[in-house]
Amino acid sequence: MYQLLIRPLFFLFDPEKIHHFTFALIKTACKIPGISFIFRSLYQVTDKRLERKVFGLTFKNPVGLAAGFDKNAVLYNELANFGFGFIEIGTVTPKAQAGNPKKRLFRLIEDNGIINRMGFNNLGVDAAIKQLKKNKGNVLIGGNIGKNTDTLPDNVIEDYKIAFTELHPYVNYFVVNVSCPNVGTFAKLQDKDYLLELLNSLQEINHNFQNKNPFY
C-alpha cells in the first residue's frame, strides 16, 4: 500500500510539509483507543539478545531514531510505540530559531535519499523541556544539543553549557553536535584545544548532577 498509494501521494507535496503532516497524523492516530497497542503489537520486539549496554545504559535494541526527526520532542512518546531502542531529540539550541530559509529539504528520488539543509530550526530548550516533562518512560531519550546560529564564536561554549544544564534532568544521554555543515560556522569547534575546553566544561557540569549522563 505504501509503495503503490501513500508514497506517490506524499511525493506530490513539499517534503517539509509532509513531515509535519505525518507528525499530526501519528499524534492523532495514537489518541484513538487501541491504536497505540496495535502499533506496539506490530513493531515492538522484546528479546534479550537485542539488548545493548553502552555507557552504562541498557538499550532494548540497537535500532534508534536519530536527531532531526523529532526536533522539539513533541512525538517521542508516540514514536516509542514503533519499537525503537532509543529516540534522540533535537538538535536543541538555547534559544528558538527559524533555521535556514525555505526551501531547505530536498528529495533525491533516484537515490532514495533526502538532502537536509534545515539549519537547527527548533523552538529552543524551554519548549523541549515542556514536552519532555510528559515522558512516559517507554524509551531512552537522547538530547542532541547545538549552538544558536547567531552566537558569536567566543560565546559558543556558553550555548552548549546552557542546553546541557537545562536538559540534563530530562534525557538519558547527550550528543554534542559540533559539526553540522549548514549552521553558520563551526570552524572554531574543529580546533582540538577549543573542543577539549567545551567537553571538559560539560563534564564539570555533569559531575554536579547526582545522575551522570554520558555524552559524546
**pLDDT, tens digit, for every residue of 127-162?**
999 999 999 999 999 999 999 999 988 899 999 999
Q: Is the pLDDT of residue 51 over 80?
A: yes
**Fold assignment, 2-207:** TIM Barrel (3.20.20)
pLDDT, position 55: 92
Average pLDDT over residues 184-207: 86
**So what's the pLDDT on residue 185?**
65
Q: Identify which has the larger pLDDT, 4 or 94.
A: 94
Q: Please write the tens of the pLDDT for every residue from 151-194.
A: 988 899 999 999 999 999 999 999 999 887 666 666 667 788 88
Amino acid, single-letter form, for residue 166: E
pLDDT at site 39: 97
- How many whole angstroms separate alpha carbon 61 and alpha carbon 139? 10
Phi-psi region of 83 (alpha: psi -120 to 50; beta: other; left: phi over 0): left
Q: Does pLDDT of 2 surpass 90?
A: no
Mean pLDDT of 45-65: 96
Say which residue the cell 580546533 belongs to.
Answer: 191
Give the distance, in angstroms, between the CA of residue 84 and the centroid of all CA atoms in the same chain.
Answer: 13
pLDDT of residue 213: 95
Chain-centroid distance of CA 201 in Å reads: 22
Q: What is the rounded CA–CA span in Å between residue 201 and residue 207? A: 10
Question: What is the rounded average pLDDT of the residues 99-125?
Answer: 94
